[in-house]
Amino acid sequence: MAPLLPNARKHNLRRLAQEIHSATACLSASRAAICKQVGLNVAQWRALAAIDRSTFVLSISDLARLLRRSRQSMHPLACGLERAGWVRFLPNQDDRRLLQMQITARGKSIVSAAEGSFNTWLLTMASDLSD
């Protein structure tokens, strides 16, 4: 097989980048629609999923680091999750200043609903792909 000419290679790379960009936009729009359908926003879904998947009880600072956000922006999000009844704040045994979060049954239920819808969407999108 002959190597591609430089212009053909650039064209193919540009097309690949456009396809990736298009797929990312579609994925983001679908995530937002699923969130709206179950009563979440994307930031809440990401936070709840991270709390649910964690093998230990996360503090607000831990969650901020995990999601690559500032502690200052994570605090109102965490408080909103608690007000919605999706997480429960627990005092830390070693440091009373630390608030740790535990996902509630309601939180698990809404994450499960969002992830179930998302998985169904992914399977639908991938149904035309060959193995």
Supply the DSSP symbol for 129.
S
Could you give the number of structural domains in the chain?
A: 1
CATH number of the structural domain spanning residue 43: 1.10.10.10
Which pTM was predicted?
0.80
Phi, psi of 99 (to 5 degrees): -105, 130
Give per-residue pLDDT as tens, 15-38.
999 999 998 998 899 899 999 999
Mean pLDDT of 59-83: 95
Please state, in angstroms and rounded to a whole number, the distance separating the CA atoms of residues 38 and 86: 13
Residue 101 domain boundaries: 10-121
Domain membership flag for residue 3 = no
Strands annotated E in 1-131:
58-59, 87-91, 99-103
Domain membership flag for residue 1 = no
Q: What is the pLDDT of residue 4?
A: 61
Please state, in angstroms and rounded to a whole number, the distance separating the CA atoms of residues 93 and 100: 10
Q: Which residues contact 114 (CB under 8 A, 6 or more apart)?
A: 34, 35, 38, 40, 45, 49
